[in-house]
A and B are shown apart, each in its own frame.
Chain A
């Protein structure tokens, strides 16, 4: 499996082995945290990871890609890359909500076993993308986009938080922040494991934008002069 994510400042590419009844195993990965480099680095990263894993792209069985939510420009790089790879290699591409993978990373840390969790990523403009998870890392609410202070009244009871948004707005959330900031390739694959193993038909590769484009319709005819 090839796992890609560009919904956070991390440019993530990893090669993961997935066998039935076993947790996904990381073979190689390349991750660079640079919110401006998704377009440049994602393909070089995935090629290097494949080379280190000792496989050719044509040997892949499937591709898993984080579908966001994330700041739009970077988010689209992962999806465009995954879609084109899937088409050229004739392999299925499975979208996974990015916070689902971060939640599984948080659960895997084992520091807060058995209690629910908030995942918040940076949505810029002083907002966060957020979702709530149960103790097993299953999503119970979200993803939504809100100002951190507006999340609190909507938030189901949780005991800890993960993701970069949780870190940036730690004061507002007043929750212990665990060390799961960006989605790992293994958790991206884990989040899609059931579909991958059953060979289910992948969902449409639609990014979770959560926001409408900023655009205003002009009111009436435009006056050029005063």
Chain B
């Protein structure tokens, strides 16, 4: 069998992504193109993603992003073997633009269509950098939209959610705390920068859901965010200066501590020796640093794709599509619906 080129389209949030992956006869993946257009700047003044603004931006960006991806890969669209697209979870109106376009590309090229799960795509992204996953691994997905612990026993069909956030996503907590500290949106990078000059042990912010009777693998960041707000306001009322760097570092420490502790506990409990961390927050220096320390201590292999592959992109969707094609999955129907609340157990809409 010859090489097959898989096109991936992503539009679940504020990034319009088009990726092209070459699937070799031996199942090896090679990333040929990864183009992303982001509307993040348009959302900045609103302090969060505005769905209608994101949807409008997807429609404008889809064709130019596709053109750039095809040029980057040095192929013609007609060389594509299959089209994969994020069908969920995500913002309804945003998903609809990507899926409508993907159906049209598939119809025009007369090629099969795979409507896939965005979260599974984040896990698949790692295989573009680090090769095939072991038979079983735990994945920690952390971004502005998700905070989940998954047991992955097969990218094409066996992904089980073992924990998730009961309130805010980790990245959301970053955005909210950033606003509290008058830092720009999105909050992850500026907090990470500021935290490097601060002391993570300066303020003991709470670790959500870590009591003996709390759910072992679920997360909660809403209490942490409130606690940071209270602390800052108390200082203000007392007329004290706010030690911004210490607040940022202590907040970041609390987030990284909970995320890594629970992820490693899941690996140990489930007898898994590999942890994958992906999603926009995976680029956070303290999270990856602490995860590396703790994984090494626990004898667990850690895989964190480079930041470009961690954030939302089309390459991860193309990678997941390639795994489905390689596994011989049947294409999705052309009347495929978008599913904004798609559970992670559904890797592909059939």
- A interface residues (Cβ-Cβ under 8 A, vs B): 38-44, 46-47, 57-58, 72-73, 76-77, 79-85, 87-89, 207, 209, 213-218, 221-225
Residue B62 is within 8 A (CB to CB) of chain A in the complex: yes
CB-CB nearest 7 A-B residue pairs: A88-B108, A224-B229, A84-B104, A213-B52, A43-B103, A80-B100, A84-B101
Among A39, A85, A221, A223: residue with most chain B CB under 10 A: A39
A-B contact count (CB 8 A): 128
Which residues of chain B are near A215, meaning CB under 8 Å?
A: 46, 50, 52-53
Residue B66 is within 8 A (CB to CB) of chain A in the complex: yes
A16 to B55, alpha carbons, bound, how many Å? 30
Could you tell me if A73 and B93 are in contact, using CB atoms closer than 8 angstroms? yes
Contact of B179 (CB < 8 Å), options: A39, A40, A222: A222
A47 to B107, alpha carbons, bound, how many Å? 7
A57 to B52, alpha carbons, bound, how many Å? 31
Inter-chain pairs besides A39-B337, A43-B334, A222-B180, 6 sampled, C-beta below 8 Å: A39-B99, A76-B56, A76-B100, A214-B52, A215-B53, A221-B182
Binary interface encoding of chain B residues 70-114 relative to chain A, with 1 for a CB under 8 A from any of its CBs, else 0 = 000000010000000000000011001111111111111110000
A sample of 27 inter-chain contacts (CB < 8 A) reads A39-B100, A40-B336, A41-B335, A43-B103, A57-B110, A72-B55, A73-B55, A76-B93, A76-B96, A76-B97, A79-B59, A80-B97, A80-B101, A83-B62, A84-B63, A84-B100, A84-B108, A87-B105, A209-B56, A213-B50, A214-B52, A217-B45, A217-B46, A218-B46, A221-B182, A222-B176, A225-B230
Query: Which B190-234 residues sit within 8 Å CB-CB of chain A?
Result: 225-226, 228-230, 233
Could you tell me if B45 and A81 are in contact, using CB atoms closer than 8 angstroms? no
Could you tell me if A85 and B104 are in contact, using CB atoms closer than 8 angstroms? yes
Contact of B101 (CB < 8 Å), options: A83, A213, A217, A225: A83
Residue B67 is within 8 A (CB to CB) of chain A in the complex: yes
Contact of B96 (CB < 8 Å), options: A39, A41, A46, A47: A39
Could you tell me if A76 and B55 are in contact, using CB atoms closer than 8 angstroms? yes
Which residues of chain A are near B230, meaning CB under 8 Å?
A: 224-225
A112 to B159, alpha carbons, bound, how many Å? 62
Could you tell me if B108 and A44 are in contact, using CB atoms closer than 8 angstroms? no
Name the CB-closest residue of A to B337. Answer: A40
Name the CB-closest residue of B to A47. Answer: B107
Residue B278 is within 8 A (CB to CB) of chain A in the complex: no
Which residues of chain A are near B58, meaning CB under 8 Å?
A: 80
Residue B252 is within 8 A (CB to CB) of chain A in the complex: no
Which residues of chain B are near A76, meaning CB under 8 Å?
A: 55-56, 59, 93, 96-97, 100
Could you tell me if B107 and A46 are in contact, using CB atoms closer than 8 angstroms? yes
Which residues of chain A are near B250, meaning CB under 8 Å?
A: none
Contact of A42 (CB < 8 Å), options: B100, B179, B338: B100
Contact of A87 (CB < 8 Å), options: B46, B77, B110, B176: B77
A126 to B199, alpha carbons, bound, how many Å? 55
Which residues of chain A are near B343, meaning CB under 8 Å?
A: none
Binary interface encoding of chain B residues 322-347 relative to chain A, with 1 for a CB under 8 A from any of its CBs, else 0 = 00000000000011111000000000
Which residues of chain B are near A88, meaning CB under 8 Å?
A: 77, 104-105, 108-109
Among B99, B101, B336: residue with most chain A CB under 10 A: B101
Could you tell me if A81 and B100 are in contact, using CB atoms closer than 8 angstroms? yes
Residue B27 is within 8 A (CB to CB) of chain A in the complex: no
Residue B47 is within 8 A (CB to CB) of chain A in the complex: yes
Q: How far is the CB of B121 from chain A (nearest CB, A)?
A: 20
Q: How far is the CB of A43 from chain B (nearest CB, A)?
A: 4
Which residues of chain A are near B108, meaning CB under 8 Å?
A: 57-58, 84-85, 88-89
A190 to B107, alpha carbons, bound, how many Å? 25
